[in-house]
Amino acid sequence: MRDLHHLSVAELAALLRTKQVSAVEVATRFLARLGGNPHNAFLDINSEVTLEQARASDAKLAAGTAGPLEGVPIAHKDVFVTKDFVTTAGSKILTGYRSPFDATVVRKLREAGMVSLGKLNCDEFAMGSSNENSAFGAVSNPWETSHVPGGSSGGSAAAVAARLTPAATGTDTGGSIRQPAAFCGITGIKPTYGRASRYGMVAYASSLDQAGPMARSAEDCALLLSAMCGPDVDRDSTSMDVATDDFSRDLLRPLARAGKDGGALKIGVPRGWLSELRDDVSAQFNDQLQRGSPLVDMKIMSGVQELMRQGAELIDIDLPNTALAIPVYYIVACAEASSNLSRFDGVKFGHRAAQYGDLLDMYQKTRSEGFGDEVKRRIMTGAYVLSHGYYDAYYLQAQKIRRMIADDFQRAFAQCDVIAGPVAPTTAWKLGEKADDPVANYLADIFTLPASLAGLPCMSVPVGLGEGNMPVGMQLIGNYLDEARLLNVAHQFQMAHPECHTAQPENLP
């Protein structure tokens, strides 16, 4: 048998079900790998809690009452609240916070049998693209430890890539599952907005936040997504009242009949998403966006060509408002963040300043000490665009363009079944390289923001190595509720090119 930490979620579940290994053995093996907290990926580990869950899983396996993923380890991004582990959302203001309940996603994965290894590092309140905004230190990329893992689910991506856990949860507001998955060479999917409950997810931008799984393959993501999703209508008013799907059902369908009409899959590649649009964007933004990398483009093209080789048909589509997604997203997300983060006031939970005068002074000192720079900037930006005299020019105008972006996608999906393109214009950059330039970070989100604004399901699939031998992710975007088709396409790619998703960083312990 291969080392347990190299096995997939599907393989571990099968070994556990057939009692070739116990949940306690699996948990013990993974806990041993977490010693010294490699890559600073974890923020809380509690082996007693993990082993207790594993023992309970073994009892269920023995009694024949096991869930579909019984005994398989998972770790949760620290924005999901948990009863048994500390939850900080990467912020000093929540240092030591213990939630009285588990997030719905955490509860559902436990009900499916998964054993929790702990909590994963992330950008503070999920605000960032490099994980450098965590109050508890940056995470390093297991492929090259001088590089960022991406963000905001950087701990999740690094932990899966370094084989510290076979699976992790992530959250995606503007690309926070897809971009770190791409930078660390793993597979991640953000489902349609409303598929997974937001109950117990520390809120950043409520009309965009969505949970999803991160693992090494589409097959694993399908299993995890099936367990995570489902209606939670009493606790999340934006949870869709749609039963969860068996997202594994279409994995094996050949692309020659994976289209909506039962014919060949039609893949739309947005005109300009590969190189030419970047010239436009650079001109528009005074060359602020660093030029896309030619090797990334090449890898994405070879990914699309493989899908065509399998019978998919290539269609040129237009998403003309792509570049506007950057200002629109940052206006909408900051506006929602400024409202959501007003709950951190030093009264009901979290940090309170040691020295203060009156109530207003307590609020101000508490928040100023507790929040990091990027969080403060987003709260300030949000308060500004919502303030009297600026609301129409910024916030309302952004919401109108948000509608135009969503409409562009519907026109595209009248022509094609799935959209393919890059996740990010480049591979992972060096730690510190953009740390003092928030706008450079924002611009690098150009390809993930449009689908987030529209609320569409989208994923990242590893397609090989680009500049500096760092991983490249191909983005697949589907229409609402079409996750099974995305996973179908990703799985067919991964069956043909297993070297892409099974590649691993050198020198893993």
Partner 1 sequence: MSLTPADISRIAKLARLELAPAEHEQMLDKINAFFSIVEQIKGVNTDGVEPMAHPVDAMQGSGPMALRLRPDLASEPNDREANQHSAPAVERGLFLVPKVIE
- Catalytic residue IDs: 77, 152, 176
> Does 291 participate in binding partner 1 (rule CB under 8 A)?
no
Q: Pick the closest to residue 328 from 406, 389, 411 (CA basis).
A: 406
Out of 143, 183, 199, 363, name the contact with partner 1 by CB under 8 A: 363
Burial of 504 (0-12, 13-18, 19+ CB in 10 A): middle
Subset of 476-495 contacting partner 1 (CB under 8 A): 480
> Does 282 participate in binding partner 1 (rule CB under 8 A)?
no
Smaller CB distance to partner 1: residue 97 or 502?
97
Smaller CB distance to partner 1: residue 114 or 324?
324
Q: What is the DSSP letter of 495?
A: H
- Contact region for partner 1 (CB under 8 A) — 197-205, 213-221, 261-269, 366-374? 366-374
Q: Let me know: does 244 contact 197? Beta carbons within 8 Å.
A: no
> What sign has the CA pseudo-torsion 370, 374, 378, 384?
positive
Out of 367, 434, 485, 491, name the contact with partner 1 by CB under 8 A: 367
Question: Which residue in the block uniquely carries the two structure tokens 């393109």?
Answer: 421
- Contact region for partner 1 (CB under 8 A) — 10-18, 32-40, 264-272, 348-356? 348-356
> Does 232 participate in binding partner 1 (rule CB under 8 A)?
no
* ω into 152 cis (within 30 of 0): yes
Subset of 69-98 contacting partner 1 (CB under 8 A): 96-98
Q: Pick the closest to residue 335 from 372, 378, 389, 397 (CA basis).
A: 378
> Does 403 participate in binding partner 1 (rule CB under 8 A)?
yes
- Give CA–CA dist 311/316, Å, rounded: 16
Binding to partner 1 by CB under 8 A, coded x per residue (else -) over 175-204, reads ------------------xx----------
Q: Let me know: does 325 contact 444? Beta carbons within 8 Å.
A: no
Q: Let me know: does 45 contact 13? Beta carbons within 8 Å.
A: no
- Give CA–CA dist 119/238, Å, rounded: 25
> Does 349 participate in binding partner 1 (rule CB under 8 A)?
yes
> Does 499 participate in binding partner 1 (rule CB under 8 A)?
no
Out of 107, 351, 485, 501, name the contact with partner 1 by CB under 8 A: 351
Smaller CB distance to partner 1: residue 284 or 305?
284
**Distance in Å, CB of 31 to partner 1, minimum:** 26
Sheet of strand 313-317: strand arrangement: 42-44, 115-120, 73-77, 167-172, 210-215, 187-190, 458-465, 471-478, 418-422, 266-270, 313-317
Out of 32, 62, 252, 393, name the contact with partner 1 by CB under 8 A: 393
What does the DSSP assignment read for 209-223?
-EEEEEESSHHHHHH
Smaller CB distance to partner 1: residue 30 or 344?
344
Out of 37, 364, 502, 504, name the contact with partner 1 by CB under 8 A: 364
Out of 21, 298, 301, 383, name the contact with partner 1 by CB under 8 A: 383
Out of 360, 414, 506, 507, name the contact with partner 1 by CB under 8 A: 360
Q: Pick the closest to residue 177 from 237, 143, 136, 224 (CA basis).
A: 224
Element (H, E) at 477: strand 471-478
> Does 260 participate in binding partner 1 (rule CB under 8 A)?
no
Subset of 450-469 contacting partner 1 (CB under 8 A): 454-455
> Does 442 participate in binding partner 1 (rule CB under 8 A)?
yes
Subset of 96-155 contacting partner 1 (CB under 8 A): 96-100
Q: Pick the closest to residue 325 from 396, 426, 212, 404 (CA basis).
A: 404
Smaller CB distance to partner 1: residue 113 or 457?
457
Out of 14, 32, 252, 439, name the contact with partner 1 by CB under 8 A: 439
Smaller CB distance to partner 1: residue 65 or 342?
342
Q: What is the DSSP letter of 470?
A: -
> Does 283 participate in binding partner 1 (rule CB under 8 A)?
no
Q: Where are the alpha helices (DSSP H) in 345-393?
A: 359-370, 373-385
